[in-house]
Structure 1
Amino acid sequence: MLKQIAIISLLGMSASAMAGQFQVKVGASLLSPTEDSNLGASIVKADNEFAFTPSVEYFFNDNFSAELLLATPIRHDVLLDGNSVATIKHLPPTVTLKYHLKNSTRFTPYIGVGGTAFIAWDEEGVAKDVKEEFGVAGQLGFNYQPADAKNWGVFFDVRYADLSPKVTLTPAAGGQKFDLDIDPLVYTIGYSYKF
């Protein structure tokens, strides 16, 4: 009898733990690097890029959620003193734990913190090798649900990622190794749908 009660209790706890909601978000983002690197007397910088950035979010309750950012490979031109000398493609999977400030309006601000990765996809030009990099990520934004919307809404947020992947140049370009300080701000606007 005690065994059956324990099993029923555990099943009830599992069901309540899975009682949250999923939300999918489809957005367009501008990635704007905030830093540059020194290579001798030269300045190396990654350029601004646009990206398609879908994400999946799981709500544990009204206030807390976890979001996984999924993006298509992002291509950056690497500029040496303003001239493009290489291209780097990467994937930026990012996970943030978020707090939503629920209120009586249709605007729901949120703040999040988590981790991100720079997974090198391809490199061309004078970049011979680009290493993977991991860093912290922050997020600040809001979701707006129109009056006639039951499950959908629009959102805007800004993310910051602390990323400085190590780049090795080709022998013809000197073979130097340096940290490409990207540290981008990512501005995203898009559409959300909660199941």
Structure 2
Amino acid sequence: MKKVIFALVITGLFSLTSVNAQETNSNDDPTYSKWQARFRVIAVAPSPDDDIDGANVDISTAFVPEVDLTYFFNKNLAAELILATTKHDVEIEGVADLGSVWLLPPTLNLQYHFYADEFKPYVGAGINYTIFYGEDAGDLDDIEYENSVGFSLQAGIDYNLNDKWFLNFDVKKFFLKTDVIPNNDSSGMVEVNIDPLMIGLGVGLKF
């Protein structure tokens, strides 16, 4: 099912590249540019859930820099590629320290942008592939996290400072999970929903 959804997203992305961008005055509008980059500081707050009876997995919040690149097919439709990596401490509350793990979830969102004078709100949705690396097993001898495909929802707003620079506030909700294998024992595998909320504030550049 995930492969089908991924194929549909990619097909939609390439279909949008063929959209005719000849909107009235769009090329003369200083708030419109084909390419934009944003530089944010983000808070990534997981909302973990697991299938361990009588125990709860806790995953720490992380604060990191984030970069994204946005391409506009026309004045309203755009695709945004998000790049950031975060380190999270993991534990089973009151039971065990599971060390820490790094997450790298490159995400591609399709967006729709609105225009209201200097403000430009937008909404989006997309897909990500989360890579887990740099595991520290904590109290265990070994721990492994399976890479996984997930989905995202997004809402945000840009505020134009001038023709090139703008401020940005952005909120994303990720729906992702992983299979956790402790001590190289697949019989003890646990499915954990991470489902982080990402809140970012930063500055953007049009070019």
TM-score scaled by length of structure 2: 0.78
Post-superposition, which runs of at least 4 consecutive aligned residues in structure 1 deviate over 4 A?
A: none
Q: Which moved more, 1:74-83 or 1:112-121?
A: 74-83
Unaligned runs of at least 5 residues, structure 1: 1-13
Partner of 1:134: 149
Aligned: 1:94 with 2:104: no
* 40, 61, 66: which one aligns with 2:79: 66
Partner of 2:194: 182
RMSD of the alignment, in Å?
2.2
Aligned: 1:114 with 2:120: no
Query: Could you tell me whether the CA contact under 8 Å between 1:143 and 1:154 is conserved in 2?
Result: yes
* 41, 60, 82: which one aligns with 1:28: 41
Letter in 2 for 1:133: S
Distance 2:69 2:154 in 1: 15
Superposition pairs for residues 48-59 of structure 1, below 5 Å? 48-59=61-72
Query: Could you tell me whether the CA contact under 8 Å between 1:144 and 1:154 is conserved in 2?
Result: yes
How far apart are residue 35 of structure 1 and its match?
2.9
- Over the matched positions of the two proteins, sequence identity in percent amounts to 30
Partner of 1:145: 160
Distance 1:84 1:117 in 2: 26
Distance 1:38 1:78 in 2: 15
TM-score scaled by length of structure 1: 0.82
CA offsets per residue over residues 153-176 of structure 1, 9 Å max, x none? 0100110111111110116x9962
Distance 2:50 2:119 in 1: 39
Distance 1:84 1:46 in 2: 11
CA offsets per residue over residues 7-48 of structure 1, 9 Å max, x none? xxxxxxx9x77x961111101110111232242321112111
Letter in 1 for 2:191: D
Letter in 1 for 2:195: D
How far apart are residue 129 of structure 1 and its match?
1.0
Unaligned runs of at least 5 residues, structure 2: 1-17, 22-26, 28-32
Partner of 1:167: 180
Partner of 2:87: 75
